Amino acid sequence: MQNLAQRRVALKAALEAGLVVAPGVFDGISARVADRMGFCALYMTGYGVVASALGLPDAGIATYTEMAERARMIAGVTHTPLIADADTGYGGLLNVQYTVRGYETAGVCAIQIEDQEFPKKCGHMLGRRVVPVEDMVAKLRVAVDARSDPNFLIIARTDARTTLGLDEALRRAEAYARAGADMLFVESPESVEEMERIGRAFDLPLVANMVEGGRTPILSAPELERIGYRLAIHPGLGFLAATAAMEKVFAGLKERRSSIEPAAPLYDFQAMSRLMGFDEVSAFDRKYRDG
């Protein structure tokens, strides 16, 4: 089992070797399921965390404390390197310093910070506004200086494309690279041609946000790697699948007033108990209660 320092080194090595595909995790169940699959990284999605924890939209409502605690929980029940959404850094420069140190202490391997105004919005929604580029550059300089482990990666995201156009998004990404970001995330390009232009513009590792039903085309792993991406996050795949399945089985329960022959496949209950660690609980009881 790798310790935290080893996980961070392993993530960097995987990104250097080729495209890393990271599923979106948002709670303990999704994290435990994904952790068993052999991915090189997991991605803590802000949209999914806010939806699952609060039942609300990802619109700047969740606080630093809520997000950092969710990151700590996910990192604590998994062994796969965790990349975590940290929104805008939750405030000004001092907040960014506190956020980076808090996420690093929580067990995260890479943190994503974006240049939206507060309150932020999901990156595939319209109406997003960004702060002056100088403000984001200052945040990134703070973030780089705040980390204690140089292998803790700083991902700089710009949301300028949707409102201000791709040229401005590329200009900002270049400034963020000069500020010391380890990876660049130009959010929501709207065509393969735009994605290819982003790939040609930078030598730093790039993030592709594969949101099923979002504004960016969903491409295969070989296509993304050809363009120049090194990290493909799929933040919505898990919660979209889970919500579709729950809607089906709950509708069937309402209609038939029984769970006989559910409308979607169910995870085996005994396997679920093993997944959540009940075997370890039983072993603990045998050792300390029955021994």
pLDDT-based confidence at 5, cuts 50/70/90?
very high
Average pLDDT, the chain: 95
Secondary structure (DSSP) of 144-195: HHH-S-TTSEEEEEE-HHHHH-HHHHHHHHHHHHHTT-SEEEE----SHHHH
CATH of domain 4-242: 3.20.20.60
How high is the pLDDT of residue 121? 63
* Domain residue ranges in the chain: 4-242
Structure confidence by residue, pLDDT tens digits, 65-119: 999 999 999 999 999 999 999 999 999 999 999 999 999 999 999 999 999 988 7
More reliable by pLDDT, 121 or 130: 130
How high is the pLDDT of residue 125? 64
Angstrom distance (rounded) from CA 157 to CA 180:
13
Residues with Cβ within 8 Å of residue 29, at least 6 apart in sequence:
275, 276
How high is the pLDDT of residue 122? 62
Q: Is the pLDDT of residue 146 over 90?
A: yes
How high is the pLDDT of residue 124? 60
pLDDT-based confidence at 278, cuts 50/70/90?
very high
Q: Is the pLDDT of residue 123 over 90?
A: no
Residue 22: enclosing H or E segment and its boundaries? Answer: strand 20-25
Q: Is the pLDDT of residue 127 over 70?
A: no
Query: pTM of the entire structure?
Result: 0.94
Question: If 0-12 CB within 10 Å is exposed, 13-18 middle and 19+ buried, where does residue 50 land?
Answer: buried
The structure tokens listed for 153 are 């990666």
How high is the pLDDT of residue 30? 98
Angstrom distance (rounded) from CA 193 to CA 50:
32
Residue % of the chain over a pLDDT of 90: 92
How high is the pLDDT of residue 59? 86
Angstrom distance (rounded) from CA 197 to CA 242:
34
Structure confidence by residue, pLDDT tens digits, 204-262: 999 999 999 999 999 999 999 999 999 999 999 999 999 999 999 999 999 999 999 99
Nearest CA-CA partner of 29 in 84, 64, 70: 70
How high is the pLDDT of residue 144? 98
